A and B are shown apart, each in its own frame.
Chain A
Amino acid sequence: MTPVFSFLEQHLELTYIVILSIFLGVEVISRVPSVLHTPLMSGANAIHGVVIIGAIIVMGQASEENYLALILGFLAVILGTVNVVGGFVVTDRMLEMFKSKKSK
């Protein structure tokens, strides 16, 4: 267990972020009307596309001769971008539909 504790101590700020974010996520979502469940899921789906930042860092640090890292990193950047862009656009389209339905 000691390595885990020393790791947490070294990354105390990140640990705080994790714990507070957990409560925040729960708090932000509770009491949401069920019509919004699917757009909310889709919006959250787009937000976890932040993983693209990791892909960019991986790609940007890969050395020029390391073809495996380059190819996998490139693939990761593409997949991550599809997640982000597609996620936000799909959510917007869902909400657009939702709005026009309501105004009728």
Chain B
Amino acid sequence: MEDLLKIGGVDLKSRLFVGTGKFSSYEVMKNAIGASGSQVVTVALRRIDLESQEENVLNFVPKDCVLLPNTSGARTAEEAVRIARIARAAGCGNWIKIEVISDNKYLLPDNYETIKATEILAKEGFIVLPYMNPDLMVAKRLKEVGAAAVMPLGAPIGTNRGLKTKEMVRILIDEIDLPIIVDAGIGKPSEAAEAMEMGAAAVLVNTAIATAGDPATMARAFDLAVQAGRMAYLSRPGATKLYAEASSPLTGFLE
């Protein structure tokens, strides 16, 4: 049977979600998205500069991708809800990544406001994917109020520092009956593979791809790593042991 990730009524083959920020150009971004094989792509919503003609990012995202607008810039649940409604009115679907942040140094999400926004938007029919600080009780509440998945951070946004929250993410995977998607902080394919081996449903990567010397090749590397990690998880890794245990027979040696 094909291993698909089901979110909001959509069957996803790729478990790598990608962001569209920080690329040197939309052309470079387009090539990286193509190379990643990703089917879910995040975008942000901002004021138009009416004095200048800027290109439309959506022209560089494959049409068959699910668009996942984020609520970046929101500092309260109210602001996140407002951004989500505007994004939906743009006619690009009803998925929304809730991001409520008022901490400018580490950009850590406000879990309390995130739960409030998730509840309101889930009731309005949005497919809500909240970005959160990995905490079991918060994840439980997000599930109760209608989140479609939970997106704990691996490390602060844009740091490329890897799975610093590994133990807490592992607990969420163990306890929460929703897809757990590690978002933020993943800097290298090996870290994406590690998250997938643990049983994460998917990972969301932006900075690590966008700021690589060769973004398209890095995107391909992430695709392979996510697939490898997922396969390893599904094949149930063997037990770890403290002492050596010979792999070769311990009998029949030459005299």
A and B: real partners?
no
Chain B contacts to A: CB under 8 angstroms: none
Chain A contacts to B: CB under 8 angstroms: none
